[in-house]
Structure 1
Amino acid sequence: MEFSCFYMSNIIYATFLLFFDAFAFAEDSIGPFQSIRDGTTLVSKEGTFEFGFFSPGNSKNRYAGIWYKNIPVQNVVWVANRCNPINDSSGLLTTNSTGNLVLLHQNKSVVWYTSLSKQVKKPIVRLLDSGNLVLKDEEDGNSEAYLWQSFDYPSDKFLAGMKLGWDLKKGLSRRVSAWRNWDDPCPGDFSWGVEFDALNQSIPEFYVRNGGKKFLRAGPWNGVRLSGVSELKPNQFVNYQFVDNEDEVYYTFNLKSNSVIAIFVLNQTTSTRQRLTWIAEEKSWNLQFSDPKDHCDNYGLCGGNGNCVIGDNPVCHCLKGFKPKSEEKWNLTNWSGGCVRNTPLDCKDKKSDGFMKFVGLKLPDTTYARLNKSMNLKECRAKCLSNCSCMAYASSNVRDGSGCLMWFGDLMDIRQVSTEEQALYVRMPASELGKSGHMVRAVIVVACIGSISVVLLLGYFVYRRNSKATSEETERSLVTRTNERHEEDLELPLFDLPTIVTATDRFSFKNKLGEGGFGPVYRGMLEGGQEIAVKRLSLSSGQGIDEFKTEVKLIVNLQHRNLVKLLGCCIQGEEKLLVYEYMHNKSLDSFIFDKNQAKLLDWPKRFQIICGVARGLLYLHQDSRLRIIHRDLKASNVLLDNEMNPKISDFGLARTFGGDGDDSEGKTRRVIGTYGYMAPEYVYNGQFSIKSDVFSFGILVLEIVSGKRSTSFFLQKEGLTLTAHAWTLMQEGRAIELLDSHLRDSHHDLQEVLRCIHVGLLCVQQRTSDRPSMSSVVVMLSSDSHVLPYPNRPGYFMETESPQLFPESSRVSTITISGPVAR
């Protein structure tokens, strides 16, 4: 009866509107007795957002929604009638006699409406420049006293100023949910929000769910960040905030500049959560990050008490003190059963138990954890020890060490992360805590000299059951004897850890140059005034001791002006450090993808960089003694010296080969690299060769010419990737249009530009046999008279073919290593 009255009142009210001038309203708002019809819009005060009716994708259905007014692609940020479309252009949005917003179809059918707790006589609806559609009482002097707002009911976009989480007073949960597909904004399977149990004092956690199943978990907030991600930290564009009080629990972000547009998107099609930044000059969205970023982000991959370490093969390990529940399944990479204790706990004697400390982990799922904010860490330990069911504990706030978080039952969804600020204390029986044997200690001495660059790696594996002091004394003795022998033979400089710590001011944040897939890089200065760059491998990095050895072995034997020079290294305890010559201009990507820095790279400098990288790669493939496939060539791994000479860096993924020509290749089940640069045959089949490097070089050339990232570029209308866009322009005789807009008004050799585009397209052809060798590339770049063959269709032609959009293969452990590494 109540709805019938509501329905009838809207029919009468809509009929009344036919006799009123419904279009006499301010451009950013409507008042009483005014409406928005299909074909008319509201525009926010500064012209950022627009509200009206639209049809998504190829659909003819009509929806009421909000979109960026001046952004042509992926611009709809909110939809009112997500699952109740209008099949013609008769839609009308107005306020009814009770002050509620009502969406009508053919002036009578109610499609969507708000439900206010009180009647409003003078309602006003306004579209704000934040993208928030608000409803308020015109007589209320408080400008932010909203009776209803679209920000409380997100669609698939999370905008600056929105609150993702709970309003506990209203019982309102704000969750982002993906569109079902490009043509249908009705919520699909994927949703993202905050979950917690207030009655049982659980800690809030952010989950992405696929239907009812947990798909992705960021880890609980630890006072500094979400314990499982590194993105929740301030950067040049965004400030993040997490609020947890009696009234609200939410996460939000704000933009530091009005000129920046950044959003989070939950994408059903790609099964990802993405942060995008709009690049106005390029008229495209730039992908800042996307998750799941790797295999270990998949919820509960390693089962209970398992730890996922990306870069290891296999990625799943049992926590120390645990073993696989089923060895047979574990060996078949079925880790879902997780791990069980080596020695069961005996709750009869709680005093015999203790705790083992783990650092650098994403904290376990807190569904079955309990929070006590008033306890300190010492009290937390005692409380956990007194309860036989308590399996682990940690501080809930690492900023000041306060709060007690205790886990009950199996520890789920753990992974290794780069930050080591969080400690997790796992309950162990005394028998496990007393074990000191079977510890592998590796003492690796790397001796390097600037001009000769020789490396000697010696491993000492000491198995001892004696005391810690004896073990440490043995280790010191081995190090001393080894150092003395090689320093006497070769007079090689070795860096000890205190020297590096002092040089980098204890690895201070102000000295941090960047961070790649294997860890952060810091600027430092030795006592003599020499500037250095120190690559500090994180415990959770994909580059373990094998990759570290590989990089050192390779780079100290390489001597070329276009390869970075290794000055030394240090291994002490868990620390693995590489010391390089310092590059004042950092990495190539910091120039070509930055609208201000890009202006500093004119065409002659860009051509110089292209040729220098080509010569460096040729040296690796053909002229060096070891002969090397780099496997991770990209803009962030090309460093620039004072004169903008390029130097290829990061040899942690490199492989040596002994054969000649194009047959020098290999195959791996462990595909590691950067999507967008990896050749198709490597991504899909694990096959790599010198032609894989040629493909990466071709991508790099097109990026240098265009100033656009291959990983985030695609032409919206045609769905073309950067490689396809360049190939299409060449076919149409318009290849010069690919040139960076910063260079189009300057004087340069157009034939040289066109030749580089042509060579780049030859390098990115789908078939490896069609791609030239680097020796041919160098000749083609340096000779104006050399006749170039016409390139065939490139790999990754359509946006839907891009590997960053494909799910990971069940048989290939795929790791995306992204982000600039400036040394």
Structure 2
Amino acid sequence: MAILPCFSIFCSLIFFLSMKVSLAADTVIPASFIRDGEKLVSSSQRFELGFFSPGKSKSRYLGIWFRKVPDTVVWVANRDRPISDHNAVLTISNNGKLVLLNQTNGTIWSTNASSEVKNHVAQLRDDGNLVIRDNSSVNTTENYLWQSFDYPTDTLLQDMKMGWDLKNRRERYLSSWRSDDDPSPGKFTNRLDIHVLPKMCTFNGSVKYTCTGEWTGDGFVSALSNTNFLYKQFLVENQDEISYWYEPYNRPSIMTLKLSPSGFVTRQLWNEDSNEWDELFSIPDDYCGKYGYCGANTICGPDQKPMCQCLEGFRLKSQFNQTGPIKCERSHSSECIKGDQFIKLDNIKAPDFIEVSLNQSMNLQQCAAECLKNCTCKAYANSNVTEGSGCLMWFGELLDASRPIRNFTGQSVYLRQPASGPDKSKDSWLPLFSLASVAAATENFSMECKLGEGGFGPVYKGRLLNGEEVAVKRLSSQSGQGLEEFKNEMLLIAKLQHRNLVRILGCCIEQGEKILILEYMPNKSLDVFLFDPTKKRLLGWQARIGIIEGIAQGLLYLHHYSRFRIIHRDLKASNVLLDRDMNPKISDFGLARMFGGDELQGNTKRIVGT
């Protein structure tokens, strides 16, 4: 009987030691508690979980930090629910939730994981991830019921993913603290922006504060520096996720990507010798790193003077306010009919993807041709910087272009510029269209777009890339009317301006083609109405009189009021076109003859209609 007290003391000692071991382990099991002053420690001794007070605050929070750097907290549970005393405890509830309770067992914070299974445990892993799992299952990510890595924090740890879990419709992003003393959510978030192409953006509320360029395969443009030999970056895109993460090459090293309360994203490496953080980079800088700092159609460069300059092809609208955003406008007309070229801007951060189109199957040459066909396309570049493939085209305003600072890398962007000298035909000063743009407008001169055919050749309905409908008149190679008639009509119509004459928009003379681009007349020609038994009933006397008067006004202008006395010589119903309101417009000047002011007649060897 005398040994019973000794046995009791021994059992108590074993229980006490087992409790101490449990409290020093990396897991919380049901019916066990983590109290203020006690900690969980990951198996590698890398991370600790416990209660802390940030900065000068007296409030208590449950958080995770590096064991070697206890003042660097990387995750906080009760961010917006501070504890006012030291009496809170962490435990696993009966339904498998991880809960933070006050001294009256009221819930301060809890996870959303719950199940009828009673065998749940919470574990602090070696990568700093706090997880809840079924203790009887294999320790794999797929069996986690909840993990802290899925929820916003201000620090991205190595191997911690940031981006979009498409399978579970969840976004992982960084959320700044309100201040160094207050871990509640602040104004700034840092996210993987997957609009068009992935890039990293920091937002002040819903407004962009700073953005990197696109992914290069090794990192993001303007955030890829020569310190990359210290770590490897990854971006994965598949049907389940679009995610970014990084790994230091020296695995035992301590590295973070941290979003500060003031919106700065800093990559830092713990220096074991000096026991302090070494800053590898911090963005944005004071000026060019801030989103759209210089304004639209500009490029910002900390090493250029002035720092904000208009992109080539744009000019400064005002000479004032040079210390901040400037206003830049096109230095030449942006009409589709201009013949333009491109200049290459090397090593820049491309403009933001505000109004862009993306085609991953094109090469750079095809991209240039496609952009050139559309006057609203202002720039193009490879969409895949690493492989030099794909096509990205910019439309609208060009915002947030910059020259990367110091050792950051950029990419090449091709900017639209006006051709040297006026791009007009020699005789008529008519705008020139490329054959590619005309073919695109008419679906490669398809039969579905064909409106009709006359002695000149076929006429097609087309739609320019700016949406404008046009009539495309293509000179037939078999036509007896050749280049002389084409030049004549081109010259005459370009010099004539009257509401009852068809307006010419341009021409194309590439690869032996002779094509006129004319305004489109929805009601086609007068003969369609006059000689159709059904449609001629639509022409009442008032409409007929209006058409006759319009034709007469057009002829009067040609014969008397224009700068040149012009005889049409082929006026007939098929050459009188009708607009949407049935207003007549005279067309087909291929056989017209220009007379001097004192000429009353002329001779010709050609047989013409009347």
Alignment of 1:803-814 (within 5 A): none
Aligned equivalents of 1:288, 1:372: Cα separation in 2: 35
- Of the three residues 257, 265, 272, the one matched with 1:273 is 265
Residue 407 of structure 1: aligned partner: 394
Q: Secondary structure at the match of 2:390?
A: strand
Aligned equivalents of 1:231, 1:421: Cα separation in 2: 10
Residue 358 of structure 2: aligned partner: 371
Q: Note if contact 1:233-1:240 (Cα within 8 Å) is conserved in structure 2.
A: no
Aligned equivalents of 1:276, 1:419: Cα separation in 2: 16
Residue 574 of structure 1: aligned partner: none
Does the C-alpha gap of structure 1 residues 24 and 320 become closer, same or farther in structure 2, counting only changes over 3 Å? closer
Q: Secondary structure at the match of 2:78?
A: coil
Residue 120 of structure 2: aligned partner: 123
Aligned equivalents of 1:151, 1:433: Cα separation in 2: 60
Q: Note if contact 2:91-2:99 (Cα within 8 Å) is conserved in structure 1.
A: yes
Measured after TM superposition, the shift of residue 192 of structure 1 is 1.1
Measured after TM superposition, the shift of residue 231 of structure 1 is 2.5
Matched, 1:314 2:322: no
Aligned equivalents of 1:81, 1:143: Cα separation in 2: 26
Q: Note if contact 1:355-1:425 (Cα within 8 Å) is conserved in structure 2.
A: yes
Amino acid across the alignment from 2:48: E
Q: Deviations over 1:404-425 (max 9, x none)?
A: 2222211111111367772212
Q: Deviations over 1:553-598 (max 9, x none)?
A: xxxxxxxxxxxxxxxxxxxxxxxxxxxxxxxxxxxxxxxxxxxxxx
Q: Work out the number of aligned pairs and report it.
A: 403
Measured after TM superposition, the shift of residue 29 of structure 1 is 0.6
Residue 416 of structure 1: aligned partner: 403
Alignment of 1:485-496 (within 5 A): none
Aligned equivalents of 2:363, 2:347: Cα separation in 1: 21
Alignment of 1:143-542 (within 5 A): 143-145=140-142, 146-197=144-195, 202-231=196-225, 234-235=228-229, 237-269=230-262, 271-329=263-321, 332-337=322-327, 339-347=328-336, 349=337, 352-417=339-404, 422-431=411-420
Q: Note if contact 1:203-1:370 (Cα within 8 Å) is conserved in structure 2.
A: no
Residue 45 of structure 1: aligned partner: 43
Q: Note if contact 1:190-1:211 (Cα within 8 Å) is conserved in structure 2.
A: yes
Q: Deviations over 1:312-333 (max 9, x none)?
A: 221111111111233334xx43
Amino acid across the alignment from 1:373: Q
Q: Secondary structure at the match of 2:361?
A: strand
Aligned equivalents of 1:386, 1:123: Cα separation in 2: 63
Q: Note if contact 2:232-2:249 (Cα within 8 Å) is conserved in structure 1.
A: yes
Q: Deviations over 1:339-371 (max 9, x none)?
A: 211012112x37x23333221110111133333
Amino acid across the alignment from 2:271: I
Unaligned runs of 5+ in 2: 1-18, 424-610
Measured after TM superposition, the shift of residue 310 of structure 1 is 1.5
Residue 513 of structure 2: aligned partner: none
Aligned equivalents of 1:106, 1:432: Cα separation in 2: 82
Q: Secondary structure at the match of 1:103?
A: strand
Does the C-alpha gap of structure 1 residues 369 and 142 become closer, same or farther in structure 2, counting only changes over 3 Å? farther
Does the C-alpha gap of structure 1 residues 367 and 103 become closer, same or farther in structure 2, counting only changes over 3 Å? farther
Q: Note if contact 2:349-2:410 (Cα within 8 Å) is conserved in structure 1.
A: no
Q: Secondary structure at the match of 1:360?
A: strand
Q: Which structure shows the bigger proportion of residues in strand conformation?
A: 2
Aligned equivalents of 1:68, 1:190: Cα separation in 2: 24
Q: Percent identity?
A: 42
Q: Note if contact 2:351-2:401 (Cα within 8 Å) is conserved in structure 1.
A: yes
Measured after TM superposition, the shift of residue 334 of structure 1 is 3.5
Amino acid across the alignment from 2:201: Y
Larger gyration radius, structure 1 or structure 2: 2
Aligned equivalents of 1:244, 1:67: Cα separation in 2: 30
Q: Which structure shows the bigger proportion of residues in helix conformation?
A: 1
Q: Note if contact 1:90-1:107 (Cα within 8 Å) is conserved in structure 2.
A: no
Superposition TM-score, scaled by structure 2 size: 0.62
Q: Note if contact 1:23-1:36 (Cα within 8 Å) is conserved in structure 2.
A: no
Q: Note if contact 1:224-1:398 (Cα within 8 Å) is conserved in structure 2.
A: no
Amino acid across the alignment from 2:43: K
Q: Note if contact 1:28-1:44 (Cα within 8 Å) is conserved in structure 2.
A: yes
Aligned equivalents of 1:120, 1:304: Cα separation in 2: 58
Does the C-alpha gap of structure 1 residues 433 and 359 become closer, same or farther in structure 2, counting only changes over 3 Å? farther
Q: Note if contact 1:52-1:64 (Cα within 8 Å) is conserved in structure 2.
A: yes
Aligned equivalents of 1:102, 1:46: Cα separation in 2: 25
Does the C-alpha gap of structure 1 residues 41 and 433 become closer, same or farther in structure 2, counting only changes over 3 Å? farther
Measured after TM superposition, the shift of residue 101 of structure 1 is 1.8
Measured after TM superposition, the shift of residue 26 of structure 1 is 6.4
Aligned equivalents of 2:136, 2:422: Cα separation in 1: 69
Measured after TM superposition, the shift of residue 273 of structure 1 is 1.9
Q: Note if contact 1:43-1:51 (Cα within 8 Å) is conserved in structure 2.
A: yes
Does the C-alpha gap of structure 1 residues 433 and 255 become closer, same or farther in structure 2, counting only changes over 3 Å? farther
Q: Note if contact 2:173-2:191 (Cα within 8 Å) is conserved in structure 1.
A: yes
Aligned equivalents of 2:385, 2:180: Cα separation in 1: 42
